[in-house]
Structure 1
């Protein structure tokens, strides 16, 4: 051949075609084969076209007609991007394409022709026609264009045949017949193959095991085609390794890889780039194959190019819903991709060590454990880049990382224009090993880069620091990152039983600050204390000297022999810096520092962690526990419980109620699905909602299985001082609560249903002055109005604070006894009132009387009453699974304001909206469990677990103030589900005495039977004898 090497010639060399001197033989073989297979009517004139003779060549012509028409149909639609008319204007080129496809299909009759093959052949012919210079008439490539195209096509189809194969799938098994995949504990299982189809609410359980993204595919991995499996590799494995946040987002918005990746893979991206750029992409893929030391059964770079395309669109995709993602991924050809950038990105992801060849770069492979790097924003001219500020651990030991180096890429993905928070989230989701590329530059760190906040940008995945003297590391959770640690001493009360007094005792150790916990580890005794950073209510610092008790003047030795003397740490008269942490779980802990800089660093770093600017920094968005497939729970679907209790009938069945979808438009703080009377139109429902505070209209949430009495909930009506009325609201309440009775029926009590106002009569009247209030029985015919006299959130908060103060071991108040403090706090009075009101509600419903209950806004006292009454009435809610359903439905879905009441990420401890409403309800459940200990499948330990984690933000279930806010956030930032961990710890939370006998529980509300929840309130008080076991489930 003559001239400079073009794409076609280079591909033959890359793919080993004709390199052994057999190219001419292969060309001749193709020519003979084509002449044998191609029908030429001029040579067959001696045979009549309609003759049925066996040797009539026209028979084969007719047999091939369907294949030829298929090929021609696709060739007529061949308009490659950037060269739309290139082939259509050249009949000779079209004939070449037709011949190549026809001969190959005849040679491979099992596969034959499949749509898309014409795109591959067109790219090959274009590559052979268009080398880097124009072909002249004497170049032998003009004569053998068709031959070379066939030879290359045949070689490429060795890889592509499995992607065009049609696989016959046996009938889909039923959901119960599909075995769950077995997890091997690897990180790749996080994005494994799709599970069986998602069942409708009518035929699926409330919480079901799952091992992958929801899809409508019911084929198991063994039944999936090679093309389908490769699509899954692209999105569920490779993308999860290189851009886990995008992989999570695509999974959350239910974008299936088959919807966009089938075309990418099957056509070798021929329709994703302009034709000239496609040559560059193929050239890169074939070059990788030529460099491979062992033959592969597929194009190794191809899936990485697909991932590079996804990463290119990552920022835009993560802001789109399902429709937006698909429109972008299946975009029209008028929006071309930058091929050179995609190729470079794919090559780097394929081999992250490639950048180590650069003289100013080094690539470090990080395994499990510490990365040991702290990052800060680099200064000009390296704006929008992150620089290494400190290093230790693996980074230090590698010898390749230096202070001032810029982060270039992670697992081959460039880290440009990324914040410290974003890179922290990115690394937390990545599996190990991790390949990080560092660019060596000078003078990249700003002079004022000593801000402790920069440490919060640490990119270590678990523990970024090496501790001196072989101090043992505390066990960190998956996704937990240590941002700072320092030597300190922790105040620990020591109880002297004979005298009944507590002495001040300081224990030396090390304090660790992570993105989840504040953890103290003694130099001798190991881990002594921990608290989630978001469970810290306030941080109080003081630089006054500390008077150390002689009990603290002891010395302890570490494993390395180094002695830590408390007297050395706390010389009397030395200026001491103290930090007191007041925690939401009733703990109060004091730390002492001698070094002012360490004190300042600790205080500032802990303030950033405990009170972050955004709740997306909460640990639930980083925590990725390893859970067995059998322990993974399906997202809660409230419709399943509606159906279980008889509110939602199967499709087509008669029902008093109908289910509203997308009810967020009606009321943002309600669940998406609401049960309303069938006789109420949507217009009337909107009017009724406008008559209720916060649009929280009356809706049904539970129905008695035999008498069909209903529990309904709402917020207060907007009656005001003028006693306003709303006919639609009155009709809605009548249909909800009076609809199960015979028309005109009046119960022996003289009323048909009850409106139960959780407030006292005086409080309801006070709300009336603000344009709200309560119902009038004159307007709601057949109703009885009952006031339950339950206190508001402010009284509950004050009682809680008074009660917890009684358990301060250093309290020296001698003016009142311990029992007086308990009684004066009023906490047990609130417990009794909630129990009493809930039983009254349950008793009405059990006797056949429907009840509408509300407080002011319907998300605090209403949730307490409704959920506790349902617990008394329905044995299902007393099982472990049912208790999960009850909390998800009545608390999470119906809009209890967990974020506001818990003060998530808020430093204003005096905020008037904080109140332990959910904790009070758990205390009520504890009272019922204590009185009926054989009727509950779950043990009191589950209540402690939930009481702690409602503040910890370790799980997404208790984040934000309503279901809609969680759904909107979790679409972009997936969060861990609390019920998965509970299921994996099932043995811990199962009650061994469970032996149910009763349907309805009627707990006693006599004062002598309302007892203090010692396991919660007294667990941190060492003065109890015998001591109350301190049970925590933070780690």
Structure 2
């Protein structure tokens, strides 16, 4: 594993372009001033200390940088008062002191600005993903095929059909090209419904229950407005959805927003499904706050975890961020969606305002709770590709890829919240997920890094226009080429088992290994049982390798021997191991 990691690192190094290097003093919040040399390539900022033992190393992909500020001026006289402050998207802040002579600061500032913020120069090809020539044994772009995923769900069938009305993104430019809709709704019906839904994001199928045939649908808010407009086509379409699963129950609509926010949206032309217009539907508000509230919550969380954690007021400080409270509300909403589909045997429709933030959180988490396939490594990749990437979560806007405007109101940690919710579930059900914590952290690291094309741009339409799948590599190429690194050793496959996590504050916890991982004093110790299990797996792999070598040696000595067709790995797998 370590050898593979070293090879991977050198593979990446060969594909980067060296830009500059300078002597600096890294103002480490944990160890004090650290003399070192900083190297900048078109992918990363890399610092290595020159006097410390053990060596201090910083490794920061340029895509992670949110803000670069000059510290001090020509008249600055204090020690280490002249340099650069760098704010990162992954909970870090970095400060480098430089000498005033030699234009060291100017050189670093200009290089970092050019490659960390290519939007500033309107040269998006400066994203490292577009020049990354790494080689992987797996092609991650092949992971998700929408038709294959719908077939896995048993679609199309006599009640649901695949439509290509959005093949060229003419109906909705933030939706995927392939959609699943009720069999009894024509493409003309869909066009009429689109006119009454925000951004033309009509109700479409995300998932169908294999037994109850109840479905999870997603869309955006109806354009009701202050005057309480109605649309007969939209009302009829929701009735068709309700009837499609053969149950007589009402269609359940989950509006992710707080009630007061949904009412306020009427003033800007939006709104919600009123009882008079939709008598065969029941509406529930889930009280999940908007992107601005979530952004402020994460900002407060960062303030209490980096660089230092205040022990004496830790619990009250954590509570004041409301971060875990928001996680609780998202999980609670997803549990309601999943339970209504499974136990209530009722089809549900999920939306927020535009249907690409809170909606994606709720549908994907509910699907994760109901469908064990999504709890495998491949299945989770499919889930992210489908519910987040293809359905137009605005990754470029929410993360701010290559954009210098760190105060942009569009930025928000919506996808981070989703991954946090997944981690909370994995803590409560430690054997239910094929992937481990490192898998989730790797996804978040490359959400920002711009090393892969997976999370670039806001929609499938824009990614196709920029030929992202042709010109860049997929994050899943990296993951699937070294799956053992991301595999949960305790995974126990259980088909069709629904998981309902406990979404109470007593059972939720802060994800220390992600949010506080940069603090060497607080980093959690690895699980000793898991560590021992991994050691035994490595030992097993070593025995398999030795057996294969012995078999090759024996076969070469006896050319005419009729060697057993059983491979060493098969031989080992036939022996029951109790670890």
8 A Cα contact 1:632 1:980, kept in partner: yes
Instruction: Select which of 797, 801, 805 maps to 2:295.
Output: 797
Quick one: distance in 1 between partners of 2:181 and 2:218?
11
CA offset digits 1:966-985 (Å, max 9, x no partner): 11101696111111100012
Instruction: Select which of 28, 32, 46 maps to 1:505.
Output: 32
Quick one: distance in 1 between partners of 2:179 and 2:271?
24
How far did 1:1028 drift?
8.6
Q: Which residue of 2 aligns with 1:991?
A: 488
Q: Which residue of 2 aligns with 1:806?
A: 304
Matched, 1:648 2:156: yes
Quick one: distance in 1 between partners of 2:162 and 2:335?
28
Q: Which residue of 1 aligns with 2:45?
A: 518
Map 1:105-124; keep pairs closer than 5 Å: none
Matched, 1:902 2:399: yes
8 A Cα contact 1:664 1:672, kept in partner: yes
Instruction: Select which of 4, 26, 29 maps to 1:493.
Output: 29
Q: Which residue of 1 aligns with 2:536?
A: none
Q: Which residue of 2 aligns with 1:529?
A: 58
Quick one: distance in 1 between partners of 2:267 and 2:140?
50
How far did 1:543 drift?
1.8
Quick one: distance in 2 between partners of 1:982 and 1:904?
21
Residues 1027, 546 of structure 1: CA spacing in aligned structure 2 closer, same or farther, 3 A cutoff? farther
How far did 1:1003 drift?
0.4
Matched, 1:659 2:163: yes
Quick one: distance in 2 between partners of 1:646 and 1:595?
67
Matched, 1:862 2:359: yes
8 A Cα contact 1:793 1:917, kept in partner: yes
Q: Which residue of 1 aligns with 2:567?
A: none
Matched, 1:711 2:216: yes
Residues 1026, 776 of structure 1: CA spacing in aligned structure 2 closer, same or farther, 3 A cutoff? closer
Aligned residue for 2:169, secondary structure, equals: helix
CA offset digits 1:656-685 (Å, max 9, x no partner): 333325061110000010011222222221
8 A Cα contact 1:647 1:655, kept in partner: no
Map 1:252-651; keep pairs closer than 5 Å: 476-494=12-30, 505-524=32-51, 528-543=57-72, 573=78, 576-596=81-101, 597-612=103-118, 613=121, 614-628=123-137, 634=142, 636-649=144-157
Residues 973, 475 of structure 1: CA spacing in aligned structure 2 closer, same or farther, 3 A cutoff? closer
Quick one: distance in 1 between partners of 2:280 and 2:244?
12
Residues 521, 895 of structure 1: CA spacing in aligned structure 2 closer, same or farther, 3 A cutoff? same
The alignment's C-alpha RMSD in Å is 2.3
TM-score (norm 1): 0.48
Quick one: distance in 2 between partners of 1:506 and 1:679?
69
Matched, 1:843 2:305: no
Instruction: Select which of 873, 876, 882 maps to 2:370.
Output: 873
Instruction: Select which of 823, 827, 830 maps to 2:323.
Output: 827
Quick one: distance in 2 between partners of 1:805 and 1:1004?
28
Aligned residue for 1:675, secondary structure, equals: strand
Quick one: distance in 2 between partners of 1:903 and 1:740?
41
Q: Which has the higher contact order (CA 8 A, sep 6+)?
A: 2
Quick one: distance in 1 between partners of 2:142 and 2:12?
27
CA offset digits 1:442-496 (Å, max 9, x no partner): xxxxxxxxxxxxxxxxxxxxxxxxxxxxxxx9885342111111111112233xx
8 A Cα contact 1:699 1:736, kept in partner: no
Quick one: distance in 2 between partners of 1:493 and 1:475?
32
How far did 1:532 drift?
1.0
Quick one: distance in 2 between partners of 1:474 and 1:591?
26
8 A Cα contact 1:621 1:973, kept in partner: no
**Gap runs ≥5 in structure 1:** 1-472, 495-503, 548-571, 1030-1035
Aligned residue for 1:538, secondary structure, equals: strand
8 A Cα contact 2:22 2:39, kept in partner: yes
Quick one: distance in 2 between partners of 1:723 and 1:824?
38
**Gap runs ≥5 in structure 2:** 1-8, 528-579
- Paired residue total: 510
How far did 1:512 drift?
1.1
Quick one: distance in 2 between partners of 1:1000 and 1:669?
31
CA offset digits 1:993-1021 (Å, max 9, x no partner): 00134610010012110111111101012
Aligned residue for 1:896, secondary structure, equals: coil
